[in-house]
Every structure is written in structure tokens, then in C-alpha cells.
Chain A
Amino acid sequence: MDETKGAAVVIVGGGVTGLSAAWWLARAGVEVLVLESGIVGWEASGRNGGGCTHYYSPLFQEEQRLWPQMDRLLGYPTEYRRFRVGVALNPGQMVRYDTVAGHAARLGFHSTRLDAKELRELAPPVSEAAVGGVFSHFGGHANPQRTVQAYAWAVQDLGGRILQNCAVTGIEVGGGRVRGVATTRGRFGCEALVVAAGPRTSALLAPLGIDVPLTPARAEMIVTAPLPAMALGGVDGNGLYGRQTLRGNLAYGGGPHEWLDPDGAWPPRRPTTPLLRNLARRLVELFPKAGHVRVLRSWAGVIENTPDGRPVIDRLAEPANLTVATMSSVGFGLSPASGKAVAQLVQDGRCHFADLSSLRLERFANLPRDWRERRGWVPPEPADGVAVG
């Protein structure tokens, strides 16, 4: 049966990082197979704010170079749009934007300060109380749901295979190398393995004695009915991240997260909470003229973080054909570059376009066992409840 045929490279995880890695490998003519426990892009990859502006990342320049080309390279629309505007509701926030602008300028990316009038010309619903803002002549935003599907289809168009509803149950190692994976749909052999399974990455690698310290958490977003398009969709601030979609909807998130049990069930439940009211409040503060616009949905996503909040993109010393990738809760926008980095690690053992030495797994070798408790990265104590039922 063709389905149980392995591939040169098997990728565990059909999120945006795994799919991008598969796509870059397929572009290079490598035979790839993506194993996804559910539907491609169904978890955090398809539930985020769609930002593509990660000025602090070693992958930033490649992220910026690639995004404007992605629709053409993939052959499917991502709804990518250039540029970002940050709204400052107080002078302190302007100082922060200046700091960001300074970092980006160091890498050759330009920003312009906006006064209150210029800001409202670009984004009419913005608060009269805004003191100004920053226009980033870089960065942008895309539609996460459309983009993950675009990657998946592009992989297939290049001859790569994607197997959905296929959960990996074990990794077979022999002679210091990964030989294949056991799944709910049979065994698949491989010459190299990529694990990019989001919060599941830890559990998949633990039996190999590899400790990838991750803690999952739930974060929430809201979306409104469409309103007339602003000159630029990528407008945010006031502690919110998000965008006005091409359709006109305001899709924004931010605010407190809930840490989850790292041994919890997969796929995760993703309940929303009354936090949507706080998001609504923040959004009205940012866009007072949109107060009449109706909220259509709220949703939650589950993302994982490493102890320092930075990615792990690393080809391990042993097994030598195993590459691990978690983006530590910031993966969507960087995906064109992160997948390319993973592909180069798999093929050549090193990334040719960025220094990824700060993203190695070994930095956590001396992590105390109680690192989660020390940070408070543990589920809340149950609230004082009334008896139910």
C-alpha cells in the first residue's frame, strides 16, 4: 500500500513550520512526507494574528525578503500585505516604537514616525486620543488559514505527500540514527526526520532521552464584522496584535494566557473565556469609531513556549539525522524563513542565511527540573467555585 511508503525526509507536524520545511525540501527535489495528526494548520498555525514582522529574530531578513514573493512561489494566495502601523495611545508607547524602529534600522529597515493627523489619515477609526504612531516600511501580515493551506497544496504540487489524521506514536532509532516512525496508520521509514509538532514535540522526543522543554498555553482572539478598509490593514497597538483582514474584519488578540498541563490530551480542547470582553474593550479603545461593529466570534489557540521564549531550530548531534523545530509561540510570520532554515539543516547540516547558534537545544541542558514552577508556568489554581450540578 502506497500510504505506508516512507520518504527520504519525514516531517512530523503539519503546522506552518513543518509544511514550510516540507515545501523547501520538495523545491530542492527531496522526497518528503508530512505526517499530521489532524488537519494541516489546524492548531496554532491557523489561529494566530497573521503578523509577518519579527525584527528581533535571526530569521528576520529572510522573512522580509520572502514574504512579498510567497504568493507567486507557492502558487496560492496568502493574503499577504506589506507594512505595519503601530498606534501609540500615550507618549510611553511612542518610545517603545522608537526602540523597535532602532533595531530594524540597524538591519537596514526604515520606519517613519507618524503624528496624530497622519495616523488617522492612514487609519480613520483610530482613537482621537492617539498621540501618534510608527509606520514600518517593512513587515506585514497574511491570512494564516489561507497560508497553511497554500503551503500544503504547494508541497503536493511538487510531489510531496501529506498524510492527515495520522498520529505518530513512536520514533525508531538504530545505530545512532532515526530509521522511521510508527504511526496510527503504519510505519514509515526515513533517512532524516524533522519533528515540528508544536506542543507535542516534547512528548514525541522524550522516549529518545531528548528533553525539549516546552509548556503549552491557550491564548484568545476575537473577530468583528467587516468595516470599510483602512489604507493599511496591519494597524495595531494598545496591547493588541492583529489586523484588518482584506475582507474588512478586525481580527485581534492579546492579553493574558492560560498555562496548560504539558501532559494534557491531544488534540487540545480550546475553550474561550470572558477574556473576549477585555479584547473588545481594548479594541474599542484603539478604534473608538468602530464601537458599533459587531463581534462575530472568539477563538483560542494552543501554543508552546520554551523557557526563554525563543525557538529551537536544531539538528541534533544524536540521532544525527534528527532536526527539531519549535518556534516558541511565534511561528506563523517567520515560517517562510524557518522552513528554509530547517530544510538547510536537514540537507546540509547548517543554515546558510542566518546564524542559528542561539536557537540550539543544548542551551537548556542545565535547566532545573522545576523550571515551570519557578516561572509560574503552571495551570491556575482552580478558582473558588460554587458547587456545580
Chain B
Amino acid sequence: MRVVDEKAIDGKFPAVGETIDVLVVGAGDAGCQAAREAAAGGASVVLADENPLDPALMGLDVPLAFGGRMDGAVQNRERMTERLVLARPALAEAYEAGIDVRLGTTIWGIFPESAESRALAGLTVGLEDGRRCWMARARRVVLATGARDLMLGFAGCDRPGVIGARALDALLHRYQAFAGRRLLVLGSGSEGLRVAIAAHRAGVTVAGIVEPGAQAEGPAELVAEVAELGLALLTRYVLVEAAGNAEGVTSARLAALDDEGRVLAGGEREVGCDTICLAIAAVPAIELAAAAGAALRFEGTLGGHVPVLDEAGRTSVGGLEMVGAAAGVPADHPAAPDAWPYPERWLAALIASGGLEVPCCRCESVTRADVLGVRPPAYLEARSGPIAARDLGRLLADGPPNQDQVKRLTRSGMGECQGRRCREQTALLLARGAGVAPGRIPLASYRAPVRPLPLALLADDAETEAMRAGWDAWFGIPTQWTPWWDIGTERDGLGRDAGLGDTWHL
């Protein structure tokens, strides 16, 4: 007869709320296509998309860097849903194909069965729709979660109006809710040129496209299109500061660069704008796959860390697949596998113009200098003494660079945006500080929930009786809390009966 530890996890999870045959996460082009293909193959398909987003999350720059530049329309969920459906004809097609399309539904975690999580079966998926949270079991999950924006710091980057290209695209086209009028674009690769053209066509004034290099990074046809439209390409310039007031950015201060990437004295210029759009690189949105334990690799020409996929798009986690931009966003130019040249050049240019005392992690007020100095957070008031000498160089003498370790010590990436605004900058800084390629910096861990969700929403309202009855603050080993003077006496192991242990583990 098998004995089961009554305080162990065995048998305590509730039955899942629903069983899904094929779950597709993300209703962009790749997701809609994957859903249609699965449905055509006879599967029962759920297509979940977190849009329209919770405006409170948008305010936190989750999942994209909206920079506070959404207008009041985003508060109206029904209106946003209508616009979303209008903006994406593929959604209507999916409805018609019998696909269960769920808008406003976020997948915040995928928990696979494994040798270390045997209490789970198959793929357990966490869903929420803003009102409730529930678990489902899926036979197959296709992640089509797209990409987010690489964010880099500069003076004033915490002002409203500093936005990412993917976020701007969403506000312009998905939501028609962009509150800006005059835009400066950072980056002249495909991302930057495309977003500049799209913004111009949407009636936004494009004040310029900033490029630290001597020529545009993107392909000739896009460069030509930009020129035709009369948009200013500001080569050999970099941002110094986003100037502004309480309402946000009012202008961008730029510095001219020489052939070596050094700031030219007297070469400053000011460009009036209410929005500064970072369009340097798109970063695949891998957080669900990473938190689920899927194997990943660094590939700078695909936008950083991407899933390891077989020829059928399957990850290393059984039943979990990835498609579209989430599996990689091709760069404009080839490069060594560990390198990420265009973001590296931008960071170098921003350091040349703005130095190190500018924000890296905005949530936790960590500067670039704090990361390189491995400084504890300012509120600890512990920056003098021996800790002042414990910088990145000293840390590297003990082992290769590790972003999670630096995150623990500096808090860079620990904040409410879940590191979306600083994760890549921190990694690039560590690579720079260590003198290694960005691909040599191990990916900082992603954790469920991959969206910052309120406690009350996540709280399990379907807790089983077994969970409640078998709950203990710690292991519930009767002898663990026996006071040492009672060990070996008849009172040994009576801790629980005497009212100890199951409620307090200190």
C-alpha cells in the first residue's frame, strides 16, 4: 500500500476548469494562421489574445512600452474590442472557421508535467480575463506571442511619451488610440523605418529618424520610401535627453557624433516632439516558453533569446510550439551568433552621449552605473565601505557574468514591469562590462505569472478540501519543530498536536 505524505502536493490541485484541444496564444497573423490550420485539421481550437489590454497594465508598460501615450479610448473595453476586430479581418475569418476566439483573455503561465512537477498532467495553462482566473489543460499549445520592444535608457526616459515601436504600432493600428502628434524615431533599421512610414501615413508628424551611424541600417527600399515621403533621416546623431514637463516629452536633445562615435562638441540640436519611439530592435516575446522551461538559445540576428525549435516548430516542452515573431525577428544584417550588433551600437552611442548615470531599470531606480558597479539599491544606504569595491569587475573575478545574480544584488529587473523595460539593457551592459558578446550573458529567468496580476485575481477560488486540509506552513514533519530540550522525550514529535508548526515557520 503506497503511503502518501499528507502534506505533499500529491492530489491537491483541483481538477482543471476546462480541457482545450489546441490553444493558440496571440491572434496576430501567425496566431490566426496557426489557429486556422489546426481547425482545418479537425482540431477544436481556442484562439486567445490579451487584447484589448487592461489599461492599468498599459500604464505599467505591460506587455509593450506604451509610454503613457494612449488616449482615453483605451478605457472603453467594448470600443477597443470593436476596433480590434475591424483592424484584423483574420479574426472574423477565425470566428467563421468555428474557432473559439477569446479576446481580452491572457495566458499568464504554462505549467508542464515534468520529473520535478509530477503532480501536474500534460500542459496546465493559467488564463484570466480581468474578472476571473482559471486553469485549463491543453493537449497542444501554439505560442504566437509576437515581439516587444528593446528599451534603452537615457536622461528623461521615464517621461510620458517614450514609447516602443511595437507599442506605437498597436496604438496606431490596433486601437487607433495614439495620443501623440509629433514623433521622433530612434533607429533606422527596418523597425524604425517601417514605424516612421506607418506613423506618417496615419497623420502623425515625423520629426526625424535618428541614426548614430553614417547611413541608415534598414533596407534600401525602405530608405528610399522614407526619402520620398520627405522624412528626415538624422544620421550621425544620438539622443542625449528627452526634455519635457509633467505631461511628458516636449523635445529631444540630440548630439552629433563623429566617425568614431564620439560626441562632437557644439553639435547639439533640439527637435520638438511629444513622443520618442525606440525602434532599435524587436525582442521575441518568449516569456511563456521560458517560464515553462523550454530550451532557448541566443541568436542576435533573430532578436536575442529564441526558442530551440524542431522543423515542425516544436519546443523542447512536449505539446508546446512557437510560431511567428515569438520564434525570432530577423535582423537587417547577418552577424556572429553571439553578437547583437545594432543594439550594441545604440547602447554605445547612448553611453557616449549620456554617460552611465541614467536609468537602466526604471521601476527600481537602477542606473547603468549601478549595474556596472553592482551597487545595492539606494534605500539600503549601504554604498560605502567594502561594498563600494564590489563592482562588476570584482564579481567577474569569481565567475562568468550572470544577469540573475546582478539582478539580485542591484534589483535591476525586479520591478512591476517585470523587467520588460530593462532586461536587455542590463544584459547588454553586463556584456559590455565583461567584454563578451551579448549572447554570452545567460538569460535572466522568466517566471509565472508572466503578466503582473493582482493577488485577488490570481487567488484560487476553487481550492480543494485536500489543499486546505493538507496545508502547512512548511513540511509538516512532526519532529521538525520539537524544542531541542524535548528531543528524545515522550514529548518529541508532539509539536503538531501541541499546536506548533503548521501555522508558523519562522
CB within 8 Å of B: which residues of A? 39, 46, 49, 51-58, 75-77, 79, 84, 86, 92-93, 95-97, 99-100, 103, 106, 139, 145-146, 149, 152-153, 157, 162, 164-165, 217-219, 224-226, 236-241, 246-247, 254-261, 264, 268-278, 280-284, 290-299, 305, 308-310, 328-330, 333, 355, 358, 373-377, 379-389
Interface: B418 (CB within 8 A): yes
Complex CA gap A231/B320 in Å reads 46
When distances are taken between beta carbons in the complex, the residues of chain A under 8 Å from B137 are 386
Query: Nearest B residue to A89 by beta-carbon distance?
Result: B503
Bitwise, B30-59 to A at CB < 8 A (1) or not (0) is 000000000000000000000000000000
A-B contacts, 15 listed (Cβ < 8 Å): A225-B452, A239-B471, A256-B471, A258-B118, A271-B117, A280-B459, A282-B471, A283-B459, A292-B454, A292-B456, A295-B454, A298-B448, A308-B480, A376-B3, A379-B115
The majority secondary structure among interface residues of chain B is loop
With A145-B409, A247-B411 known, 7 other A-B pairs at CB within 8 A are: A103-B483, A239-B502, A255-B472, A296-B416, A309-B479, A329-B475, A382-B121
A145 and B408 within 8 A (CB): yes
* Chain A to chain B: the 9 pairs with minimum beta-carbon distance, closest first: A309-B480, A291-B456, A385-B121, A309-B477, A53-B506, A376-B5, A277-B460, A294-B452, A383-B121
B504 and A272 within 8 A (CB): no
B119 and A380 within 8 A (CB): yes
When distances are taken between beta carbons in the complex, the residues of chain A under 8 Å from B7 are 256-257
A281-B459, A284-B455 in contact; A295/B473 too (CB < 8 A)? no
Interface: B253 (CB within 8 A): no
When distances are taken between beta carbons in the complex, the residues of chain B under 8 Å from A375 are 3, 5
A258 and B119 within 8 A (CB): yes
When distances are taken between beta carbons in the complex, the residues of chain B under 8 Å from A297 are 418, 447-448
When distances are taken between beta carbons in the complex, the residues of chain B under 8 Å from A75 are 385-387
B467 and A256 within 8 A (CB): yes
Query: Nearest B residue to A259 by beta-carbon distance?
Result: B8
A237's partner among B113, B484, B504 (CB-CB below 8 A) is B504
For the complex formed, measure the closest distance between the CB of A206 and the CB atoms of chain B, giving whole angstroms: 21
CB within 8 Å of A: which residues of B? 2-13, 19, 109, 111-124, 126, 133, 135, 137, 139-140, 291, 293, 314, 318-319, 364, 376-377, 379-380, 382, 385-387, 390, 398-400, 402, 405, 408-409, 411, 414-416, 418, 445, 447-449, 452-456, 458-461, 463, 467, 470-475, 477-484, 487-488, 495, 498-500, 502-506
Complex CA gap A273/B111 in Å reads 6
For the complex formed, measure the closest distance between the CB of B429 and the CB atoms of chain A, giving whole angstroms: 19
When distances are taken between beta carbons in the complex, the residues of chain A under 8 Å from B376 are 77, 146
For the complex formed, measure the closest distance between the CB of B50 and the CB atoms of chain A, giving whole angstroms: 15
For the complex formed, measure the closest distance between the CB of B470 and the CB atoms of chain A, giving whole angstroms: 6
A100 and B500 within 8 A (CB): yes
When distances are taken between beta carbons in the complex, the residues of chain B under 8 Å from A236 are 504, 506
B506 and A277 within 8 A (CB): no
Complex CA gap A237/B503 in Å reads 6
Total cross-chain contacts (CB, 8 A) = 315
Complex CA gap A236/B503 in Å reads 9
When distances are taken between beta carbons in the complex, the residues of chain A under 8 Å from B11 are 380
A217 and B475 within 8 A (CB): yes
Complex CA gap A241/B135 in Å reads 25
A162-B398, A310-B479, A385-B113 in contact; A380/B118 too (CB < 8 A)? yes
Complex CA gap A236/B114 in Å reads 31
Complex CA gap A58/B135 in Å reads 44
A57-B484, A239-B503, A389-B140 in contact; A381/B3 too (CB < 8 A)? no
When distances are taken between beta carbons in the complex, the residues of chain A under 8 Å from B480 are 305, 308-310, 328-330
For the complex formed, measure the closest distance between the CB of A249 and the CB atoms of chain B, giving whole angstroms: 8
B408 and A46 within 8 A (CB): yes
B484 and A355 within 8 A (CB): yes
Complex CA gap A100/B229 in Å reads 76
A58 and B484 within 8 A (CB): yes
B8's partner among A39, A256, A293 (CB-CB below 8 A) is A256
Complex CA gap A309/B7 in Å reads 14
When distances are taken between beta carbons in the complex, the residues of chain A under 8 Å from B502 are 96, 239
B405's partner among A39, A284, A376, A377 (CB-CB below 8 A) is A39
Complex CA gap A328/B482 in Å reads 14
Query: Nearest B residue to A260 by beta-carbon distance?
Result: B116
When distances are taken between beta carbons in the complex, the residues of chain A under 8 Å from B474 are 219, 241, 254, 329-330
Complex CA gap A297/B408 in Å reads 13
Query: Nearest B residue to A379 by beta-carbon distance?
Result: B118
A389 and B319 within 8 A (CB): yes
Residue of B2, B445, B455 ringed by the most chain A CB atoms within 10 A? B455
For the complex formed, measure the closest distance between the CB of A252 and the CB atoms of chain B, giving whole angstroms: 10
When distances are taken between beta carbons in the complex, the residues of chain A under 8 Å from B123 are 388
For the complex formed, measure the closest distance between the CB of B453 and the CB atoms of chain A, giving whole angstroms: 6
For the complex formed, measure the closest distance between the CB of B319 and the CB atoms of chain A, giving whole angstroms: 4
B116 and A271 within 8 A (CB): yes
When distances are taken between beta carbons in the complex, the residues of chain A under 8 Å from B447 are 272, 296-299
When distances are taken between beta carbons in the complex, the residues of chain A under 8 Å from B111 are 271-274
B488 and A358 within 8 A (CB): yes
When distances are taken between beta carbons in the complex, the residues of chain B under 8 Å from A380 are 8-11, 118-119
A258-B118, A271-B117, A293-B455 in contact; A281/B463 too (CB < 8 A)? yes
B448 and A272 within 8 A (CB): yes
Residue of A226, A384, A389 ringed by the most chain B CB atoms within 10 A? A389
A100-B504, A236-B504, A269-B293 in contact; A384/B121 too (CB < 8 A)? yes
B506's partner among A84, A278, A295 (CB-CB below 8 A) is A84
When distances are taken between beta carbons in the complex, the residues of chain A under 8 Å from B470 are 256
When distances are taken between beta carbons in the complex, the residues of chain A under 8 Å from B3 are 373-376
Complex CA gap A364/B478 in Å reads 17
Complex CA gap A20/B124 in Å reads 40
Residue of B3, B124, B418, B473 ringed by the most chain A CB atoms within 10 A? B473
Query: Nearest B residue to A92 by beta-carbon distance?
Result: B499
Query: Nearest B residue to A297 by beta-carbon distance?
Result: B447
A257's partner among B387, B475, B499 (CB-CB below 8 A) is B475
When distances are taken between beta carbons in the complex, the residues of chain B under 8 Å from A84 are 506
For the complex formed, measure the closest distance between the CB of A198 and the CB atoms of chain B, giving whole angstroms: 15
For the complex formed, measure the closest distance between the CB of B349 and the CB atoms of chain A, giving whole angstroms: 32
A274 and B319 within 8 A (CB): no
A381 and B2 within 8 A (CB): yes
B416 and A225 within 8 A (CB): yes
